[in-house]
Amino acid sequence: REGKDGVAAAASELALAVGRAEASVAALKTVSEAAGEDLQRSVEEARATAEALKFLITTARAVEVKPAPAPEPAPSRQKRDLRWDEDENEEDFRLTRRGRPLAETWGGLR
């Protein structure tokens, strides 16, 4: 191509190539921004996950350190003291038992 037509054709091709390059740069910029946003979201999610794990580990350690509360003792029945008193002796006890009527001693059973 020679002359003005050749220069015009070359200029036209160059303009098309520049247009394609500008479109490629714009597309690359859009993709880069989207990838940057995705990367930022991933970093934020990783930080949130790390904080949650720290909380869980701290809670687990706190639970391990604390002993379980001791259960309250079960209520116990008071035991009767069946020992002899100092001022009693066995003969007095037997005499007292024999002195009661049979009906009173055994609840009226005969």
> What are the residue boundaries of the structural domains of the chain, listed by start?
1-68
Which residues are within 8 A (CB) of 39 and not within 5 positions of it... i.e. 6 or more apart? none
Nearest to residue 12, comparing CAs of 20, 24, 27? 20
* Amino acid at the residue 109: L
Per-residue H/E/C for 13-25: HHHHHHHHHHHHH
pLDDT in tens, 92-106: 555 554 555 555 555
Q: Global pTM?
A: 0.39
pLDDT in tens, 33-50: 999 999 999 999 999 999
